[in-house]
Amino acid sequence: MSLDLDLARERFETSTDFTIGLEEEFAILDPQTLELGHRFEEVYAACQRDEVLADSAAGELIAAEIEIRSGRAESFAEAVSLQRERRDRLFGMVEGMGLALGAMGTHPWASYLDQRIIDTPHYNRLREELGWVAQRNNTWSMHVHMGVRGADRAIAVCDWMRELLPLLLAVSANSPFLDHRDTGLHTVRTEIFTRTFPRCGVPSPFGDWSRYADFVGMLERAGSVVESTQLWWSVRPHHAFGTVEVRICDAQTRGDESFALAALIAACIAQTALEYDKHGYDRAGSPLEDREIEENLWRAIRHGMSGRLIDFRGGEEVEAQAALEALIAWCEPARESLGIEVDLPARNGAQRAREALDSGVAIEDIYRDAVAETKRTYTEAQPAA
């Protein structure tokens, strides 16, 4: 198996700007106990008998998870329409199997010690390579792909999207609970996945495709990776699709909020590409340093949208909400061009969960309410984001 970096470059050179793909991960649950159901193989086999889900359902390492993908869409509205149909089919199918689906970044009490890895050659190889890291990863996310034409341009978009990752994470924060406890974090999922997996988190800037390919090619020659999907960075060029993929966010409990978050991410990728077209790579000096982005990433993990981020260029702290409002204003040209609306809630999943906890609701009941809310909002007709 080879990464074939020349072929990957060609895919970007011939990619179509601003096509969209959405990916949503769900926990497979027992509807009565809400314990994880390690039944991916059964659910996936059922998906293969459905004409729509056969090509859109996928596994993600652990046997208590199922992912659905919209596939490539020419517009955000089309991606939403495709994903709605897949959601409806998936939720109806698993209910018929006596199962339920949950959408939070973590399960509030399931033990990773009970976790089972999907039994395929691919995932068995990852289990052998990663050891405890693979076992520990009982987390759920959502990803957005956007087509970006041009290999150097795609790398530039990834480089500049890096500094938006902490704010996008804060907006998505939806995993405050673990081991039956309030962790004090807004997204403990990020600590589990981003801090444990190799080649994960925020990558350093590469500048252009040549330097990117030199590094990845070295990893391949050294035996660190055998395929590009082992680059688990929170923003990455996807070799097979010719897309920039953002993968920093927690899974969203409400279906409409998942679409709204995806809309914001898509608008940010497109606006970053437009900024590159207008100003070149060094549109505002150089991209932020890794240590600067990491400082904001921790703030997003710890406080989410209830905290402050650092504006390193302005040399001051800013409320996360103010930073979000500025981000939405900044990407207005892309939103208008692509017909994307961003309608985010006043309080995100982590904030609502912690408010419920503070009012005396038990963590188990908060999760039960969240699972019910997921079923309602991912299957009922919702207005397009």
* Bridge partners, 309 (sequence order): 318
Mean pLDDT of the chain: 95
Q: How many C-beta atoms lie closer than 10 Å to residue 38's C-beta?
A: 17
Structure-token match 């060094």, residue found = 282
Q: How many C-beta atoms lie closer than 10 Å to residue 10's C-beta?
A: 13
Residue 383 has pLDDT above 50, yes or no: no
The pLDDT assigned to 384 comes to 41
Give the percent of the chain with pLDDT over 70.
98
| 276-296 per-position pLDDT tens digit | 999 999 887 899 999 999 999
| 82-105 per-position pLDDT tens digit | 999 999 999 999 999 999 999 999
The pLDDT assigned to 1 comes to 46
Q: CATH number of the domain at 5-379, please?
A: 3.30.590.20
The pLDDT assigned to 195 comes to 87
Structure-token match 């055998």, residue found = 226
Q: Confidence band (pLDDT; 50, 70, 90) for 382?
A: very low
C-alpha triplet 121, 126, 129: angle, nearest 5°: 125
Taking CA atoms, 379 is separated from 88, 95, 204, 373, in Å, by 5, 12, 39, 10
Strands 141-147 and 243-250: antiparallel
Q: Which of 286, 298, 303, 292 is nearest to 350 (CA)?
A: 303
3-state secondary structure 226-267: CCHHHCEECEEEECCCCEEEEEEEECCCCHHHHHHHHHHHHH
Check if the beta carbon of residue 299 is closer than 8 Å to that of residue 286. Answer: no
The pLDDT assigned to 284 comes to 75
Residue 385 has pLDDT above 50, yes or no: no
pTM value?
Answer: 0.96
Q: How many C-beta atoms lie closer than 10 Å to residue 250's C-beta?
A: 32
The pLDDT assigned to 2 comes to 64
| 218-267 per-position pLDDT tens digit | 999 999 999 898 999 999 999 999 999 999 999 999 999 999 999 999 99
| 313-333 per-position pLDDT tens digit | 999 999 999 999 999 999 999
User: Residue ranges per domain, the chain?
Assistant: 5-379
| 250-261 per-position pLDDT tens digit | 999 999 999 999
Structure-token match 């998505």, residue found = 172
| 116-135 per-position pLDDT tens digit | 999 888 888 889 999 999 99
Structure token pair of residue 97: 């199997």
Residue 44 has pLDDT above 50, yes or no: yes
Structure-token match 């097979």, residue found = 240
Check if the beta carbon of residue 145 is closer than 8 Å to that of residue 243. Answer: yes
Residues written for the chain: 385
Q: Which of 22, 60, 104 is nearest to 269 (CA)?
A: 22
Across the range 176-194, mean pLDDT stands at: 97
Q: How many C-beta atoms lie closer than 10 Å to residue 125's C-beta?
A: 12
| 337-381 per-position pLDDT tens digit | 999 999 999 999 999 999 999 999 999 999 999 999 999 999 975
Structure-token match 């804060």, residue found = 170
Q: Is 382 helix (H, G, I), strand (E, B) or coil?
A: coil
DSSP 8-class letter at 63? E
